[in-house]
Amino acid sequence: MENYKIVTLEEAHRDCINNYCCNQDELNKYLKENAIKESELGIGITKIGISDEGEILFYYTLCCSSIVESSSGIRIIYRPAVEIKFFSVNKRYHKIVYDQDEEGTMYYSDLFLADVINDINTFTSNTCAAEFVVLYSVPEAVKFFSRNLFDAFEEFMEKSDNTYLMGCTPMFMTL
């Protein structure tokens, strides 16, 4: 695989954006139509893993969030978190093995997610503290995120009621 770097998405990447495909229409559409706009509005920052040849290997969008905890509906606690609003891998790297040893198999998608978590760790260590990483996984990706140390929300954690998250599994990772 070619070398890549992670950069913040900009309008200058438009040609690369137009060539991106992850086999999920909504994720392709978000990158092509909304990611730059939402960044400008302060809704989420999108970063891309881009090869030396200009191919987008993956992208992710981060925003500030929290985990809401309640006990018997009485006490509410907001625990600071960074939300992975979107995470998408170029279809060319789906189910492609990066490394394999006696401990198991690591795919490129695992490597790319590790880059995202490293970015979040840097941010939360140097700029804005958070206890958790949260995301809302589509059903077919729950196993992938579980393999990468995310857990389903615990019973005292309240999930968002946004309608676009219907059918998604709320998951978290402790930093």
Query: For residue range 55-76, what is the model confidence (pLDDT) as tens digits?
Result: 999 999 999 999 888 766 666 8
Q: Report DSSP letters for the chain, one per residue.
A: ---EEEEE--GGGHHHHHT---S-HHHHHIIIIIHHHHHHHTS-EEEEEEETTS-EEEEEEEEEEEEEEEETTTEEEEEEEEEEEEEEE-GGGTT-EEEEETTEEEEHHHHHHHHHHHHHHHHHHHTS--SEEEEEE-GGGHHHHHHTT-EEPPTTEEPP--GGGTTPEEEEEE-
Please give the pLDDT value at position 68: 84
Is pTM beyond 0.85 here? yes
pLDDT at position 41 is 95
Domains in the chain with CATH codes: 4-174 (3.40.630.30)
